[in-house]
Homo-oligomer: A and B are copies of this chain.
Amino acid sequence: MTELDLAFVEGGVTAPFGFMASGVCAGIKKSGRKDVALVVAEKPCPAAAVFTTSSMAAAPVIVSREHLAEGTLRAIVVNAGNANACTGAAGVADARAMAASVAAALGCAASEVLVASTGVIGVPMPMDLVLRGVAEAAEALDLVAGEDAAEAIMTTDTFVKTTGVAFEVDGITYTVGGMAKGSGMIQPNMATMLAFVTTDAPLSSASCDKALRSAVGRTFNRITIDSDTSTNDMCVLMASGAAGGAEITSHDARFVEIAAAIEHVCGELARMVVRDGEGATKLITVTVTGAQSEHDAEAAAFAVANSPLVKTAVFGADANWGRVAMAIGKSSAAVDQARVRITFAGILTCDGGTAVAFSEEAAATALAEDTVEIAVDLGLGVGQATVWTCDLSYDYVRINGEYRS
C-alpha cells in the first residue's frame, strides 16, 4: 500500500465535496432518537456496494442490489429501528416505496436511490412514519450534516462512527469520508453492518467497485464481534468527482492512492465498529504471520478472534495462550505444532509449540490496556492477516438476553 499523507477531516460523509446529508427523528425508534438518514450527491454519480451474503437477505438489500446494477446513485436512504427483514413481498414493496419517495423529493429516478434498513427483524415497516421521515430528511439536507446522518443509523451503538481523510494527488486535494453502524450480528463474509463511504475523487463506476471490494476484503470482512451475519449488511461507496480532475479508472496511477485512502477510512470505521461491539470492553487485534498463505493466515486469525474462550480470557485479563493454541489448532490452516510462537499482549508465552515462562504481573498490566494484541507466528511461510474483534463480557449476554434487538 502506498504511503499517503492522510490528514484527518471532520464531517463524515459530507466531508468530501458534492454531498449533502441529514438525520431526523421519524418515531420508528421507540427511544425517539434520530432514525432516518439521507446521503445525497449533487448529481447522479459512480457508486458501488457490497451486500450481505445471507440467503435471508432483507427487502432493502434485494431492492438495492437491483438499483446498483448500473453503478450509478444519486442518494442513499437509511432507517434504523426496523430491519424490514423477513417481511415478504410487502417488505419489498415498502423498500421500493422508500426509494420512490426519495426520488420524488429529489427529482431523480427511484433506481438511483439505494435503500438500507437496520433494526428488529420480522416486523412490518411503519410506512406512515418512514415516509414522513423521508420527507423531513429531504427538507433537512445540509452540506455539513454528516454527523446527523451517522447518528440516525445507530441501533445499539454507543457512539457515532464517522471518519474522513484529505490527501493530495497530482496537485488536487481529494477527500474520503464515511460513517458506519454496528454493533451486534457482526461477522465476516461481506460488508457486515451498514457503512457508507463518500469521496469527491473522480472514480469511474468500475474503479469504485474495485476500490470498495479491495478495501472491504481487508477491513470490514476482517472484523468479527459474535460470528453472526446480519440479513441487512451493506457497504456503499459514492464518488462525486466534485474535487475535479480527469476520471480515474482502475488502471490509472492515481487509483492506487485513492484506493489506499478508501481502505484507510474503511479500516478506521471497521475498528470503531469492533470497539463498540455489544458489551465490548477491549479491542483485540489478532495477527497471524508465517502462514502458508494469506488464506490460511485469515482462517487461523478468525478462529482465534471468534473463539468465545479467547474472548472471555481477554475480558478476564488472563494471558491464557493455551486457548489461542486450541483455536489455531481447530482452524483449517496448516500448522506444525513445533513451529508455533504465540505472543499475548506483547508477551511471548509459547515458542516451538510449548510454554515460555512469563511474568503474570507484566501480563496483567498489559491486559489492563483497552487494546490487546494477540500475535501468532506459524513459522511456515509468508502468509499474514490481521483480524479485529472485541472481548466477550457479561454485558454482551445482558444486552442480547434482555433486549429484543
Contact = CB atoms under 8 A, between A and B. Distances in A.
Given A226-B308, A337-B86, A338-B88, A329 B184 contact: no
A352 B352 CA distance: 54
Given A86-B350, A392-B397, A326 B122 contact: no
A55 B337 contact: yes
Contacts of A227: 227, 306-308
Interface string A190-227: 00000000000000000000000000000000000011
Contacts of A28: none
Of A120, A228, A315, A338, chain B has the most CB atoms within 10 Å of the CB of A228
**Chain A interface main SS type:** loop
Residue of A88, A355, A400 most packed against chain B (CB within 10 A): A400
A107 interface: no
Contacts of A328: 55-56
Nearest to A356: B122
A121 B326 CA distance: 9
B226 A322 contact: no
A71 interface: no
A327 interface: yes
Which one of A88, A123, A401 has the greatest number of beta carbons of chain B within 10 Å? A401
Contacts of A54: 326, 329-330
A86 B329 CA distance: 11
Contacts of A120: 322
Contacts of A330: 53-54, 187, 189, 228-229
Q: Which of A306, A326, A352, A396 has the most CB of B within 10 A?
A: A326
Stoichiometry, as copies per complex, reads 2
B308 A400 contact: yes
Given A227-B308, A337-B55, A337-B56, A316 B401 contact: yes
Contacts of A86: 322, 325, 337, 350, 353-355
Closest 8 CB pairs of A and B: A121-B322, A56-B329, A316-B401, A54-B329, A312-B400, A229-B330, A55-B335, A88-B354
Given A53-B330, A316-B402, 9 more contacts: A52-B329, A56-B325, A86-B353, A226-B308, A226-B309, A227-B307, A227-B308, A228-B323, A229-B329
24 contacts: A54-B326, A55-B333, A55-B335, A56-B325, A56-B328, A83-B322, A86-B322, A86-B350, A88-B352, A121-B325, A122-B350, A123-B355, A185-B309, A189-B330, A227-B227, A227-B306, A228-B307, A228-B309, A308-B392, A312-B397, A312-B400, A316-B401, A318-B404, A397-B397
